Amino acid sequence: MAAKVKVLSAGAVKPGVVPVVAAFERDTGYDIAIEFATAPDIRKRLGGGESADVVIAPPDLLDELAKSGSAAAEGVMVGRIGVGVMVRDGGPVPRIATVDEFKQALLNSQSIVFNQASTGLYIDSLFKRLGIAAETEAKITRYADFAAVRDHVVNGHGSEIGFGATTVIIENAGQGLRYIGPLPAELQNYTTYTAAPTANAGYAARALLRYLATPAATAIFTAAGIQ
């Protein structure tokens, strides 16, 4: 019977992790079960006693898990992902190439949507930095995950602007969403994702971690927009 490995991963890396894991399964015969969740949900689930063999998450969460003994202190770098902007197909297309255009687009929008994970935390801090937090707060909706953000934007009727990891926006483009582009370079923020073994990790899990660092895996991650 093929060894089974449970992976608990942040959703932003899904477009790259899914094909990489599929390639690993084909090459090794191991059975990998992946569940995707936001970083806060991963923290809650592992803190509540749920088990996993490999965790893919931002370094700050992995540091917490390492301190609690839930995961190793060091892992394999998967890559970094920036923040992107989306609107619904057929909706108004904001100009966001410069900082001034970006600010004006937000002030002109009827609705601003983002998640409560890494992307959303950064957007909240960015609005404060830009001095528009008070002016935009009334039209902001924060959701637990990207799926809810996507649905809000897709089902909108006005000038909604949504934020998310560039990878998942691109993955969903054409399904009622339009990817406008990344944040202006001066405002861009990258979240780094690392894969680390937990205390439960066996040989198959560690083989997967080694595979994540191979040139073949790196090529797949790059094609998915993970730098």
27 inside domain: yes
Q: Which two tokens stand for residue 187?
A: 């405002």
187 inside domain: no
116-144 pLDDT, tens digit each: 988 899 999 999 999 999 999 999 999 99
Alpha-carbon distance values, 99 to 3, 58, 111, 193, 194 (Å)? 50, 27, 19, 27, 30
Both 155 and 96 in one domain: the answer is yes
What is the distance between the alpha carbons of residues 201 and 196, in angstroms, rounded to a whole number?
9
Host domain of residue 159: 83-182
78-119 pLDDT, tens digit each: 999 999 999 999 999 999 999 999 999 999 999 999 999 888
pLDDT of residue 6: 94
What are the counts of helices (DSSP H) followed by strands (DSSP E) for the chain? 10, 10
CATH number, domain containing residue 36: 3.40.190.10
Domain count, the chain: 2
Predicted TM-score (pTM) of the model is 0.80
Q: Which two tokens stand for residue 134?
A: 């008070």
Both 94 and 76 in one domain: the answer is no
Both 135 and 61 in one domain: the answer is no
In the chain, the amino acid numbered 54 is: V
97 inside domain: yes
131 inside domain: yes
Indicate if the pLDDT at residue 1 is higher than 60.
no
